[in-house]
Amino acid sequence: MKLIQRRVLPWRCLCAQPARAFSTSSARRTIRPITELSDRVEPSYIQRRQTTLLSLQWPSPPRNILITKKKRTPGITESLIEYTTHLSTTYPSINIILDPESAAEIHEQVSFPVYTFAAPSHNGTPQYLPDKTDLVCTLGGDGTILRASSLFAHSAIVPPILSFAMGTIGFLGEWKFKEYKRAFREVYMSGASDAYANLDIPEKELRTSPPASPDDPLDKPLSYADIRGKSMGSNRTARVLLRNRLKVGVFGPDGIRINSSVDEDTYALNEVIVHRGSSPHLKIIDVFVGGRFLTEGVADGMIISSPTGSTAYSLSSGGSIVHPLVPSLLLTPICPRSLSFRPLVLPANTPITLRLGEKNRGREVEVSIDGKRISEGMGVGMEVRVLGEQVKNHAGEWCGGVPSIVRGTDGVDDKEEDHWVGGLNALLKFNYPFGDQDVDGGHR
């Protein structure tokens, strides 16, 4: 007997499927270009009385937040998801900017869109990023801060940097990650008492998800109505340590600039290094200070560092430790042949030139700017020209450097804490006793 296959009526198929409610649709997890964002909100920095630090003052709330993290660290990736979720659910109109690798890594795990930028060309910086970023947050160690600063290596203006110490040493990191709610609230609300008084309230404020912990007052979602006229006040602004950078130009023997695809200097937060690389021979480097010949240095290389970089490679090479607020340049030889070739500390406005001399036996040399190497075109006659960055304009306004937000808030305690001194003692173990001696000079 032949079986006859009957056609299934279409409405029977529809009846067999359960109805789907529109409210259960999942949120769109997308990666968007930063060109869709509004231009950055540029804060001002005011010199505080009886203190060497500056006050951070926003003319309106920051919106575009760039977050960089230590790479290939699963624990920090989880912290990044926690941090971005808190910002998105608590603060109005916050936009999260991530580097392309981090955006691809977490965008499917969050319920809000993330923004990213195109990877820059060799020795370049991301296009549009300086014009779109209000605030930078770093999750990692000192290397993460340097990488965040290098994203603005060809920009004269760097947004404020809020750093969370999650690396090995964390000498530059000011905050512990467990303090992220209070830290961001202080930065977000920092400004004059009437900074947000005339703030326009949007007709509709979008909420992506409920707060993670409703019992925590720092998790309470804010609206523009909540913050209008309720900033921290002129006496309780976030404190900023302005770190000077180096202006670096690298030129080949033919005088053509090779450190940038465009004809402009590169800004370095830590140092610029001329070193022998894989060559077994010492390098002969002519040193010019203020346009005048100083010496012919025979060494493995030379370091020119900023005060911030004085606790990095320069310190390992025998250089001095300089407070970041001292405008200066440090010239430190690496393993010099002569014991009389000692490190120098020079004024920040003194130009320094390093030139690879004709007497070099080995022709190989490398240049590193904050860890980024330049090895092409480094022949005899190449020059590295360095000058300290100008952080004040002719009107006396603070306009340069890397604004680093330090822990604590002015107006809370009368005593001003110098976190640099604390870092020397706690992290670098400055003048730490040997053997069984304790810190009071006795014996255990």
- 319-367 pLDDT, tens digit each: 999 999 999 999 999 999 999 999 999 999 999 999 998 888 776 788 9
Return d(Cα 259, Cα 122) in angstroms, integer. Answer: 9
Percent of the chain with pLDDT over 90: 53
**Strand ranges of the sheet holding 292-299, from the earlier edge strand across to the other edge:** 266-268, 246-251, 383-388, 352-356, 283-289, 292-299
User: What's the whole-model pTM score?
Assistant: 0.84
Total length of the chain: 444
pLDDT at 39 over 90: yes
pLDDT at 414 over 90: no
CA of residue 309 relative to chain centroid, distance:
14
pLDDT at 294 over 60: yes
Instruction: Give the pLDDT band of residue 47 (cuts 50, 70, 90).
Output: confident
In this structure, the number of other CB atoms found within 10 A of the CB of residue 419 comes to 16
- 83-117 pLDDT, tens digit each: 999 999 999 889 999 999 999 999 999 999 999 99
Which residues lie below 8 Å from residue 254, measured CB to CB, with a gap of 6+? none
Percent of the chain with pLDDT over 70: 77
Q: Mean pLDDT of all residues in the chain? A: 83
For the chain, list the domains and their CATH numbers.
Answer: 30-242 (3.40.50.10330), 246-388 (2.60.200.30)
Instruction: Give the pLDDT band of residue 16 (cuts 50, 70, 90).
Output: very low
Ranges 221-225, 265-269, 312-316: which has the least confidence: 221-225
